[in-house]
Structure 1
Amino acid sequence: MRHQSVHTTVSRPPIVVLCGSTKFWEQFTEAALYETVAGWIVLAPGCNLTQPHPLWADPAQADRLKQVLDDLHLRKIDLADEVLVINPGGYIGDSTAREIAYARSLGKPIRYTHPA
């Protein structure tokens, strides 16, 4: 009987981070589905501040949370091998433009769901 080495290294699947306006939440879900089925580890926004929720019902709290989430998303870009921009109709808002610029500064490959 042959035994495998304990030191066998397993390569991880590539990581993609989804960027874009959360007003396209359904498109985020669809993109995550397709990327997952294609074998990618998917990082995406974890919440949608455009939909009401008690965690961000207070406007001051919502503003603070947005800053925390924006920084957290940059850390996701740090981890990613590639960026997929969710941009129906070519739409890219200010936050997404900043994320794209940040990803470019790191040399991350960037794909778009629609021509930019």
Structure 2
Amino acid sequence: MSYPQLLTAEEKLADAKQRLNLPRIVVICGSTRFMAEMQEANLLETADGNIVVAPGCNMKEAHPRWDDPAEAEALKVRLDDLHRAKIRLADEVLVVGDYIGDSTRAEVRYARSLGKPVRFTHLDVDPDSPSPRPHAHQQSTT
């Protein structure tokens, strides 16, 4: 007797997105020092017909929500969890900026562990690149 294969959560999500005829979902990653570049990438990706999810808080800018250091630290943890959820939701990752730090590097590793394609606005920051390459806008790697 054979039993039907149960779909994984990821397979169910992919099936639902296909049934809903959703456009490609792109998540923007990168240091919040590149917020202006992220906004431009959001504009370009949206104009290309993609759904875009991106960082929504720039904790490098003063805001009453993270004035308290303890609250800021707790918020940072929640935002990191939220961004990993955005990566799981997305079909691909776009890393913006000519520098990536530890958080973005971890996001790239996480996305790749899930089999998500990762593009870079600057190829030479790809942590898995064997050698630095010249800058090229939005090149794909997996």
TM-score after normalising by structure 2: 0.73
Amino acid at match of 1:12: L
Report how many aligned residue pairs link the two structures. 106
1:33 maps onto 2:52 in alignment? no
Pick aligned residue for 2:26 from 10, 16, 27: 16
Is 1:59 the equivalent of 2:69? Answer: yes
* Residue 93 (1) aligns with residue 113 (2): no
**Match of 2:70, as an amino acid?**
A
Q: Write the distance in 2 (CA, Å) between the matches of 1:78 and 1:10.
A: 17
Residue of structure 2 in register with 1:112 after alignment = 120
Corresponding residue for 2:93?
A: 83
| SS of alignment partner, residue 83 of structure 1 | strand
Q: 2-side partners of 1:93 and 1:76: how far apart? A: 19
1:46 paired with 2:56, answer yes
Look up the equivalent residue of 2:77 and give its one-letter code: Q
> Aligned residue for 1:4?
none
Q: What residue identity is the alignment partner of 1:11?
A: N
What is aligned with 1:71? 81
Q: SS at the partner of 1:66? A: helix
Structure 2 segments unaligned to the other structure (5+ residues): 1-18, 126-142
Compute the displacement of 1:10 (Å). Answer: 5.1
Distance in 2 (CA, whole Å) between partners of 1:111 and 1:77 is 13
Give the CA RMSD over aligned residues.
0.9
* 1:71 counterpart SS class: helix
Structure 1 runs, 4 residues or longer, greater than 6 Å off: none
Partner Cα separation in structure 2 for residue 65 and residue 100 of structure 1: 21
Shift of residue 59 of structure 1? 1.0
**Percent of residue pairs identical:** 59
Counterpart AA for 1:53: H
Secondary structure of 1:51's match?
coil
